[in-house]
A and B are shown apart, each in its own frame.
Chain A
Amino acid sequence: MSERELTMSEALNEALHEEMERDPGVFVVGEDIAALGGLFQVTTGLLDRFGSQRVIDAPISEAGQAGVGVGAALVGCRPVVELQIADFVSLVMDQVVNHAGKWRYMSGGRVTVPFVLRGAVSSGIGMAAQHSQTLEAWFVHAPGLVVVMPSTPYDAKGLLKSAIRDDNPVVFLEKRLLYSRPGAVPEEEYTVPIGVADVKREGSDVTVATYAAGVHLALQAARGLAREGVEVEVVDLRTLKPLDIDTLAASVRKTGRLVVVTEAARAGSFASEVVARVCDECFDVLQAPPVRVTATDTPMPYAASLERAVLPQVEDVTEGIRHVLAKVPA
């Protein structure tokens, strides 16, 4: 395997190039994605290579773009719709939830909807309340969707390729602060399977289940705690739906303790679902009540001091881990 490093933007871009080359039914649609190559360079070079019928600079009509994707999927294409900012999902919910997610079921299994909706989760950089939400829980709650949130360039590329090849609608959320972060990506072609978690760090004392930017918070907290002799296992869920409960439960059975980290607001968050699923699966092995480390239940404020107060920081993850370790079973 080569030692090549790519940023997540470059890795995603490579995935799109490869899948569009592989399958002429794959096309991309979104705002500023063709001539400009996307605000975050994920679609760079696609227009020159594949032309304007497959790389579409759309008017600012997010619901329309998503609907176009669903319709094209029904007749056999594999559209990839880019939401410039993931918060705009509020504008496309009807097309995604009522159409993409339900069309197969409502038809009695007669149709497939191979549709990918990508969006940039843009918290942490002062974009304020309408450009900084982490909304994966909305999609996990809607039947019929697959939900993916990668944390590394390697996973991002491999999972996007799997998402495009999957016959189901996939909501693929990318953390904007991770776009420029480099990581090893082999030259050779590969995919990362949907529905398979990845243990990013092995440890024996506590399991931290997380995804996307939370993985990096957890790894940083784990490095700090290792100096105190605490061994943290970091389980990168990668796919939220379907959830790889087997990998997660195996980790919790080993450590007996669970912390779940998400940058989403707390109430009804996916962290709550993870805690519930682990309790369903292996409540008897838990040596302490699971802890959720999340954003606060507030809109995202603009000022840096305020945004830091709302979003979970490494110290919050460290504190959550200490909390779950402090509980001694009765």
Chain B
Amino acid sequence: MTAAATTDAQTLEQMLLRMWQIRAFEIRAMALFEENLIRGSVHPYVGMEAIAVGACAALGPDDYITSTHRGHGHCIAKGLDLKLMMAEIIGREDGYCRGRGGSMHITAMDKGMLGADAIVAGSSAMAVGAAHGLRLQGRDGIVLCFFGDGAANQGVLHEACNLAAVLDAPVIFVCENNQWAISTPAAASTRVENIADRAAGYGFPGVTVDGNDVLAVRTVIGNAAARARAGDGPTLVEAKSYRITPHSAATKTDLRPPEELDAWRSRDPILRFSRLLAEEHGFEPARLEHVEQQATRDVEEAVEFALASPRPEPEAALEDVYAPADWALPGRLA
């Protein structure tokens, strides 16, 4: 897909559906956490749906992404199955990772999802390596690495950006700047106004984009993807947005100013896209409502599927530590 991305109604409707699916999935997941059906925590992506959906709309099936602890949105945008996702998050055998990974580690290679990474910035160097590996094998895919504003100050991200530059790796770094790293505002973590400005230090382009504008995100990522595919190397895209929900379902204290939260609520990316679809693409209210309801039904079906899936047998805890190998005989690894 090129930067001149399609605006046919079916594609736009699909993007809106994905955004609503993310919203519905996260709200349902937070409720399931309160019901003790989800262990640990969930880190909701509410308010940031335009980034994942816009970015993944500019990618093809041969392209890969890496994700973060706040990764459900990336998975849904990349086309993962809601049922298998929900089963994983609830810790069931039919989940993407057979209940081994949970909310923060969903992996689906067949969908180009290299894995969600709960180490902040942890997947950045992996993304560069995957991009180099694809190129080495003569494959077409590129790799898009999602990370947050908090990750921007991790050392490995610096190493990964510089390595991507010197390797001319076909990779896109996407900083989802949601303004806060739990309780620390981005302004207290860096003296640059835009994380994207740091790209100059690596010798590749840095672009900021309104992360609540799904079509703008798609365009910017499309340009970066074209650059990567042409062999011209990486791009750093900073998508400015905000998370409407708390850091995680388990984090009950939120230090963010209520008026700031209200201001961002009024910029809701889904409602904004819906308005655009109504005003510029002739979507009737009934059609928009239908998409939202479809997303809710999809998530409910996913919950039903997940709850009906068996819990993993305890013995399975010992499986898949190692890949099959001549030496991997029972009793050898105690």
Contacts and interface: CB of A to CB of B under 8 A. Distances in A.
A81 to B, nearest CB: 10
A68 interface: yes
B129 A107 contact: no
A330 interface: no
Contacts of A111: 107, 109, 115
A106 B133 contact: no
A66 B322 contact: no
Contacts of A146: 322
Interface string A212-247: 000000000000000000000000000101111100
Contacts of A244: 332
B188 interface: no
The size bracket of the interface on A is: 35 or more
Interface in A171-201: 193-196
A5 B213 CA distance: 67
Interface stretch (B35-43, B119-127, B276-284, B300-308): B119-127
A99 to B, nearest CB: 6
B325 interface: yes
B130 A71 contact: yes
B131 to A, nearest CB: 8
A103 B109 CA distance: 12
Interface in A54-80: 54, 56, 58-59, 61, 63-77, 79
Contacts of B270: none
Contacts of A103: 107, 115
Given A25-B136, A99-B117, A242-B328, A107 B128 contact: no
Contacts of A77: 133, 136-137
A71 B320 contact: no
A143 B322 CA distance: 9
Contacts of A76: 133, 137
A178 to B, nearest CB: 23
A107 B105 contact: yes
A143 B319 CA distance: 12
A201 B130 CA distance: 45
B180 interface: no
B261 interface: no
B140 interface: no
Contact of A110 (B107, B117, B122, B135): B107
Interface string B93-135: 0011111110001011100001101010011111111111111
A167 interface: yes
Contacts of B332: 195, 242-245
A254 interface: no
B130 A64 contact: no
A193 B122 contact: no
A68 B132 contact: yes
Interface in A1-47: 24-25, 27
B323 A65 contact: no
Nearest to A27: B136
Contacts of A58: 163, 166
Contact of A70 (B129, B136, B322): B129
Contacts of A53: 132, 135-136
Given A61-B162, A63-B156, A75-B133, A110 B108 contact: yes
A262 interface: no
Given A77-B137, A107-B105, A108-B97, A71 B127 contact: yes
A194 B101 contact: no
Interface in B144-199: 155-156, 159-160, 162-163, 166-167
Given A95-B125, A105-B100, A67 B95 contact: no
Given A105-B320, A167-B324, A242-B333, A74 B162 contact: no
B122 A106 contact: no
Contacts of B115: 74, 103, 106-107, 111
A64 B125 contact: yes
A103 B128 CA distance: 16
Nearest to B116: A106
Contacts of A109: 98, 319-320, 323
A233 to B, nearest CB: 21
A104 B332 CA distance: 19
Nearest to B114: A74
A54 B138 CA distance: 13
Contacts of A65: 125, 163
A195 B328 CA distance: 9
B4 interface: no
A94 interface: yes
Contacts of A72: 129-130, 132-133, 136
A153 to B, nearest CB: 22
Contacts of A79: 129, 133
Interface in A229-279: 239, 241-245, 277
Contacts of A105: 100, 320-321
A75 B130 CA distance: 6
A239 to B, nearest CB: 8
A241 B163 contact: no
Nearest to A195: B327
A84 interface: no
6 contacts: A53-B135, A66-B125, A68-B125, A71-B126, A74-B133, A107-B96
Given A108-B101, A242-B332, 6 more contacts: A59-B159, A71-B129, A79-B133, A103-B115, A104-B323, A194-B325
